[in-house]
């Protein structure tokens, strides 16, 4: 039996679909507004680059969100990816 895993969205995907598309903001406008290059923003959106604390602060200020919002999304993504990668190996570790 094959297990189908749910999509684990990268923080960049959420930024794209839940913020840029919903608010009709283009990548260039956002990049210029938060002081990063368009290439950096595009790499975040496609999941090639992680969201750093600095990027989080810039995005949270722009969207009026609590600091750490995008870092928490990034962290949740990375934890799920690590769990999936480790799989049953993680179960072999005996807690102390």
CATH of the domain at 44: 1.10.260.40
What are the pLDDT digits (tens) for 53-91?
999 999 999 999 999 999 999 999 999 999 999 988 988
96 belongs to a structural domain = no
Buried b / exposed e over 13-40, threshold 16 CB at 10 Å, is bbbbeebbeeeeeebeebbeebebeeee
What are the pLDDT digits (tens) for 81-90?
999 999 889 8
Please say if the pLDDT value at position 93 is more than 70.
yes
pTM: 0.86
Q: How many domains does the chain have?
A: 1
CA distance to 6, 16, 23, 30, 58, per residue, from 54 (Å): 29, 18, 22, 15, 6
75 belongs to a structural domain = yes
Specify the pLDDT at position 32: 98
43 belongs to a structural domain = yes
Specify the pLDDT at position 23: 97
Range of the domain at 78: 11-91
25 belongs to a structural domain = yes
Please say if the pLDDT value at position 1 is more than 80.
no
């Amino acid at each position: 039996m094959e297990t189908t895993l749910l999509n684990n969205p990268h923080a960049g995907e959420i930024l794209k679909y839940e913020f840029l598309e919903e608010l009709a903001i283009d990548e260039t406008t956002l990049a210029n507004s938060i002081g990063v290059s368009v290439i950096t923003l595009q790499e975040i959106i496609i999941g090639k680059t992680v969201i750093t604390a600095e990027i989080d602060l810039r995005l949270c200020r722009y969207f009026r969100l609590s600091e750490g919002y995008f870092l928490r999304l990034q962290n949740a993504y990375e934890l799920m990816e690590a769990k999936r990668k480790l799989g049953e190996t993680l179960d072999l570790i005996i807690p102390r």
